[in-house]
Structure 1
Amino acid sequence: MKIQYLLTLLIAVSPLYLLMAQIEDKKKIIEKGAELIKVQDGFSFTEGPAVSRVGDVYFTDQPNNRIHKWNAISDEITVFKEDAGRSNGMFFMLDGTLISCADEENQLWAIDDAGKEEVLVSAFKGKKLNGPNDVWVRPKGGMYFTDPLYPRPYWEGIRGDEKEQDGEHVYFLSADRTELFRVAEDLEKPNGIIGTPDGKYLYVADIGAGKTYKYEIREDGYLINKELFCEMGSDGMTIDHRGNVYLTGDGVTVFDMRGQKIAHIPVPASWTANVTFGALDRKTLFITAMDAVYTIRMKNRGVW
């Protein structure tokens, strides 16, 4: 009897049991029997996962100033780029160019497949940005990025909450890169950002207010018809082919198109920074969380 009791207690308190017991999946979007897998740890702070056309995921280790590549076939992780501009959020364009929020110098970069960078944005109206944080490229061209203020120890001449811009906003850079303008100026601290694959709607997480908003995208890039999507902010975010939106922070929380919570995936880390869908079939959810990266297989697939 004592042995049976001890075995029962051991199972009940094991990390895997506790993790799986806490998973919520009301709409069965997680593959049956799927488990959260730690791919690799030993990083300082992982962020910015972006999926390439073939399903590989590029992500950043911001404190160590590197961009890493996860090979979706071999499951191996290699260094793609050193001196990565302290890259944070990233997103791939259709032509394979990697767009990066390089906040070492408060810039937005375009990186080619050889790792060579080009500065796309370095200022707005002659003043430095706060520090581009996350970015989404719309299918028709042009890109949206958030610009919150998170003072970095590697910045020079910036102390406390001082900033050159008059607030923390969302910007749009036109496809021909000739126009840069603000599209949302009434948020506290915009952070995560993702759009729908048809290019009609944009989701922006206001992590400062603890809310996520949905906007309609106009042809010229401006945003209209702002509406509250859910009462939760987010660091990074992604979307699947059924329109479910994945937010991060305390693990990964999933909301359907109506803003109703349908799933929660706990992650054994104090903070989950970002998420995307990887692998060729786009059914592997790739998660960056503190010093490690994780994967879990889903029924729904991501979009690219």
Structure 2
Amino acid sequence: MRDLVIPICGLERLFENCLWAEGPAYFAATDCVIWSDIPNNRILQWVEGLGTRPLTTSSNHANGNTIDREGRLVSCEHQTRAVTRREHDGSRTVLATHSGGRRLNSPNDVVVKSDGSIWFTDPTYGILTDYEGERAEPEQDGCYVYRLDPETAEVEPVIKTMEKPNGLAFSIDEKRLYVSDTGVSHLAGGPHHIKAFELGASGRPESESVFAEISPGVPDGFRLDEFGNIWTSSGNGVQVFAPDGSYLGRIVVPEAVANVTFGGAKNNRLFITATTSLYAIYVGVRGATRRKSF
């Protein structure tokens, strides 16, 4: 890990007092980090030197967040069972609520591809209880990964082979999609791994394989660095895996980690949401900047 971390840089706790911190996203234009505190129904914003303030105190129990190609916040809302976008003027646009004429379960995590398509996971965590959403019966036949077409707004299920699809990210060249399955959370002996899906000429997944098993805990959320390494949540910190799936090491965090994102002026600061807190640490690599493969 010495090539990936900086020995003199320690872990900083930037904020605490969350109930379940999730979904960090970094705004380069304003040099700030936002993240969800799901049970408290809020999205928080942290700025260097200024601290933390609520971005909204009515987030519809938002979970995963990302930034689209125009610098807008895209969020997965448990309460409304929707994927939404926060426009530059602060207004809210609903992007997806249904597929096949039926309501989504509870969108969990989201990523935007270079073609503008929005890919998101849809497990049932937000409708299992009232703690992180609103208890309800699922209308979908399963928990899928969806693609939202930027031109037609069609919500298409593209992966149907997972128990509880959760975090997701594209490889740098966008030829591969990584998706975590956290089914062990509600199924004894269930999956706690990251899968790799090879994308065909149509851009849809054509084959799949287990990339890495995560233990202890689950790979709730993850990001790639500039070399294609995966930095993932786990029960004992942030675990790091090489592009071939080999384990490289971990950053110890005193709480179970939910998700991570890269940011900062040089994109070399790892922001970590872990149970009650937002942490940060400077690392020896930069976050990935994806390049589309033609």
Question: Residue 212 in 1 paired to residue 194 in 2?
Answer: yes
The partner residue of 1:152 within 120, 125, 129 is: 129
Q: Flag the 1:163–1:53 CA change in 2: closer, same or farther, 3 A.
A: same
Deviation at 1:75, TM superposition (A): 5.9
Aligned length: 274
Question: Residue 261 in 1 paired to residue 247 in 2?
Answer: yes
Give CA deviations for 1:7-64 in whole Å, capped at 9, x if unaligned.
xxxxxxxxxxxxxxxxxx2x52012311111111112211100112334221111112
Question: Residue 230 in 1 paired to residue 212 in 2?
Answer: yes
Assess if the C-alpha contact under 8 Å between 1:80 and 1:115 holds in 2.
no
Assess if the C-alpha contact under 8 Å between 1:140 and 1:199 holds in 2.
no
* Paired-residue identity, %: 34
Question: Residue 57 in 1 paired to residue 33 in 2?
Answer: yes
Assess if the C-alpha contact under 8 Å between 1:39 and 1:75 holds in 2.
no
CA distance in 2, matches of 1:179, 1:156: 25
CA distance in 1, matches of 2:226, 2:246: 17
Aligned partner of 2:248: which letter?
I
Assess if the C-alpha contact under 8 Å between 1:38 and 1:293 holds in 2.
yes
The partner residue of 2:53 within 48, 73, 78 is: 78
Once the two structures are superposed, the pairs formed by residues 82-101 of structure 1 within 5 Å of their partners are 82-101=57-76
Deviation at 1:219, TM superposition (A): 5.1
Unaligned runs of 5+ in 2: 184-190, 290-294
Deviation at 1:177, TM superposition (A): 4.5
Match of 2:95 in 1: 120
Match of 1:5 in 2: none
User: Runs ≥4 in structure 1, deviation > 4 angstroms?
Assistant: 154-157
| Bigger share in helix | 1
CA RMSD of aligned residues (A): 1.7
Aligned partner of 1:60: which letter?
S
Aligned partner of 1:262: which letter?
L
Once the two structures are superposed, the pairs formed by residues 1-304 of structure 1 within 5 Å of their partners are 25=1, 28-54=3-29, 55-71=31-47, 73-74=48-49, 76-150=51-125, 151-153=128-130, 158=136, 162-208=137-183, 209-218=191-200, 220-232=202-214, 233-250=218-235, 251-269=237-255, 271-304=256-289
CA distance in 1, matches of 2:212, 2:4: 19
Deviation at 1:95, TM superposition (A): 0.4
Q: Flag the 1:220–1:69 CA change in 2: closer, same or farther, 3 A.
A: farther
Deviation at 1:218, TM superposition (A): 3.7
- TM-score, normalised to structure 1, is 0.85
Q: Flag the 1:242–1:157 CA change in 2: closer, same or farther, 3 A.
A: closer
Deviation at 1:164, TM superposition (A): 0.9
Q: Which has the larger radius of gyration?
A: 1
Assess if the C-alpha contact under 8 Å between 1:47 and 1:61 holds in 2.
yes
- TM-score, normalised to structure 2, is 0.88
